[in-house]
Amino acid sequence: MSLRKVLVTGSDGFLGKALTKRLTKQGYSVKGLDLKQGTDVADWDQVKKLRGFQTIIHLAAKTFIPSSFNQPRVFYRSNFLSTVNILELSRINKAKVIFASSYVYGYPNYVPIDENHPTAAHNPYSESKLLAEKLCRGYHRDFGLQMIILRAFNLYGLGQRKEFLIPHILESLKKGKILLGEPEYKRDYVFLDDAVEAYLKAVEYEPEGLEIFNIGYGKSHSVRELVDLVKNCWGENVPVQYDENKRKGEIPDAVADIRKAKRILGWQPRIDIETGIRKLIQSMVPSRGE
């Protein structure tokens, strides 16, 4: 493999850190951009002069869905404007774009959900991602950009912020009590390491046009199932309290159909939910999860 130069936005985030590390290990020359490092990708003046890369992986975004209801303008500015800037940067540099989208299917008509399922926003966050996807389509149509959109369902793994569900459950273990919302919502969880491999496959893949891939495990688990699994791996019967109130915009069940990613990218997840949770517990307390 010839050395390729990759620009990664959101390089200091949950996925970005792991991905830049793996890209570097694989022999890629990686330049990272992140707000934590002083670069606001949503500000064109800060990125317009960047040159010297063949691929841009655009991860930078606001992602915590509950906050999108409280700060919609912040989410739209960050997630929409940053994508405009990255696409324009790609046009100028004739670079391939890999865009980190999300679950954008709304209330599913069927499961598992394939890439041809109708899209529908169900909160400001997913609306911002759909707007960004529309920009990607426009830049591909008008300028012929190579474009890959990865729709990751629910990522989890080492280093995820504590407000997300699985880290919240694990952090609550140490306090001796778990407080959660509606227990029956089901999601498709994909471990960070598997998601990183999907991005590596996307970097290596040369699409003829615009391609969209679901990234998930292909199986969903309810909040209650996750809690039971965590408690079993932890080895103690920690008390759990659920708030049965339905949250606005919640989806009852979401399962990714990942056959396209398997067929075209040659990617498939390898870490099931029990193995992933055991890895996280092991990282918390070395004697646990063995």
- Residues marked active site are found at 125
**Which amino acid, 77?**
R
Tokens linked to 244: 């049965």
Q: Residue 75 is inside which H or E element, if any?
A: helix 72-76
Half-sphere exposure (CA, 13 Å, Cβ side) for 140?
20
Q: 17 by DSSP, 3-state: which?
A: helix
Tokens linked to 126: 């997913």
One DSSP character per residue, 208-265 reads SSEEEEEES-S-EEEHHHHHHHHHHHHTS---EEE--PPPTT--S---B--HHIIIII
Q: Greatest CA span in the chain, whole angstroms?
A: 58
d(CA 61, CA 20): 16
Q: Which residue has the tokens 């890895």?
A: 279
Q: Which residues contact 211 (CB under 8 A, 6 or more apart)?
A: 147, 148, 149, 205, 264
d(CA 284, CA 240): 20
